[in-house]
Chains A and B, each alone.
Chain A
């Protein structure tokens, strides 16, 4: 089992460009999450999907959209990247909301 995988590992964007971060899990988990990690701020929840077919906003959803493509995959889209979105993005999954979460290796995004 690969667990939670994320692509790409690194990305550099210019302001205004768009991109999609991909996430997949092979643990048959119902719930999936997107976080961003910034120095001194811990992890902040961007969006989550409690189950296939549902998505909800987290703490910092502005500037992002998500798609729960199927049970395995949950993507995060930046429509018009801004320098404030420079961060490390983590995808996670769990059997259900509130149960222990398993994290992917992260995507380091720089917006210039």
Chain B
């Protein structure tokens, strides 16, 4: 079946870059998404990438997709304390529904 995996925690110093990784199993995925969840709030769409792309950049965010290895990453440049949140990756699988990973809790310390 479809499965999306992420590491649970990441801790970085303010000003450094953060890299959040995600692996998925469905090779027919068409779109892959990154969502951010701040404490006590719902999920907010950050960015997405189409499966025929290798990279997408949006201001401080860079998404890299390695389709061969089914690996997706989100790089946040110049990480700030306001970036502390849980980050979810999600794939649009062959059923057209989104399959979410378990989320990575990013903690930014001064």
Show the binding face of A for B, using Cβ within 8 Å. 4, 35, 40-43, 45, 48, 58, 90, 92, 97-98, 100-106
Task: Point out residues on B near A: beta carbons under 8 Å.
Answer: 4, 8, 30-31, 33, 35, 40-45, 48, 88, 92, 96-98, 100-103
Contacts of B92 in A (CB 8 A): 98
- Minimum CB–CB distance for A32 against chain B, Å: 12
How many angstroms between the C-alpha atoms of A10 and B91 in the bound complex? Answer: 30
Besides A41-B102, A48-B97, A105-B42, 9 more A-B contacts (Cβ < 8 Å) are: A4-B42, A42-B88, A42-B103, A97-B96, A100-B31, A100-B33, A103-B44, A106-B40, A106-B42
Residues of A within 8 A of B43 (CB): 43, 90, 92, 101, 103
